[in-house]
Amino acid sequence: MQIPNLNFSELLIEQQAVLTRLTTQVNCVFVTGAGGFLGTALCRFLRAVDIKVVGFARGNYPHLKELGVTLIKGDLQDKQAVIDAMQGCDMVFHVASKAGVWGDKESYFKPNVVGTENIIAACHQHKINKFIYTSTPSVTFAGEDEDYIDESQPYAKQFLNFYGLSKAVAEQKVLEANSETLKTVALRPHLIWGPGDPHLIPRVIERAKAGKLKLVGKKDKLVDTTYIDNAVYAHLIAAVTLSEDNSACAGKAYFISNDQPILMADMLNNILAVAGLNKVSARVPSGLAYFVGTLLEWWYLKTGKQDEPIMTRFVAKQLSTSHYFNLDAAKQDFNYQALVSMEQGMKQLQNDLRNTEE
């Protein structure tokens, strides 16, 4: 993963202020999924103000050690390993999860639900009293348009994959664990992107270069996305607020985004533009995409194929429905705001892609 350097002098004033406040509230932070896109970015910002960070991940990540992160290799499903790793920490950012759109129930529930239960148990054992959980808007998604919904939207009654279901179950466990001795909050950032993104950006570019990128549906729908620094900022400011007496955000879940809904076609074409590629205009009917996804899921289950199908029912619905959110609760309860605009983020992404090519 290409990790952009953090120049602390270039951080926005609001971010500096939040980080400074955080240094007075914690001594050591535990970050799960520290080697991932969001986890790495979070570690970079914490280490920028010399907050001690213990990163927990399954792999070996030299860039984390270069940042001064104490990296512990382990599996969230190993309860004792989690308990041992969290010794001496006083705040948890639980970022890790098995993501994706394809797989059986057990493959998602073991890391996402059991892993979360183990983190909660370790918090109780070590008397850690602040827990920030990275959730997802997928916990409410049932295949229909989500137009400016807020946190009153209930969990989906039916899920199109086990990722959304497992995250919904885990989120509920985190919020139910909120108490006087363990304050918890769940954040739901949508479509995180930016420099160093190993998921959305390279996938869009790769499919465009292969001529396989297409728009789904006759009409483009609005979607919210989240620039990486804004996702980090949401976690930091929620953590600061969670540390206060009578915290307004304790025991609650919040949608997070750039608060700049954009048509799906425009988002994809903006990415292609900064990558120096032609716009995508080819379309497939949403019904056809859903049928193909259904057929591929059946075939993969029948043949036992383990890799991810190029289309699933979930992906077909995600690409043909709207997903944008009312952020009033996050703004009110912990003063969240997007510090980096879509336009600024695209410029940073363009610079990163150019540097990577060089």
Whole-number Å distance between alpha carbons of 114 and 131: 16
Burial of 212 (0-12, 13-18, 19+ CB in 10 A): exposed
How many Cβ atoms are within 10 Å of 218's Cβ, its own excluded?
10
Distance CA 335, CA 314 (A): 33
Catalytic residues: 163
Euclidean distance between CA atoms 95 and 249, whole angstroms: 18
Helix (H) or strand (E) holding 132: strand 130-134
- Element (H or E) spanning 329, and its range? helix 328-334
- The token pair at 334 is 């912990």
Separation CA 165–CA 175 (nearest Å): 16
Report angle CA 172, 173, 174 to the nearest 5 degrees: 90
Residue 53's SS3 state is strand
Answer whether 189's CB lies under 8 Å from 200's CB: no
Closest CA to 153 of 166, 139, 170: 139
Q: How far is CA 66 from CA 19, 26, 70, 339, in A?
A: 20, 22, 10, 27
As given in the structure block, the two tokens for residue 42 are: 């979070």
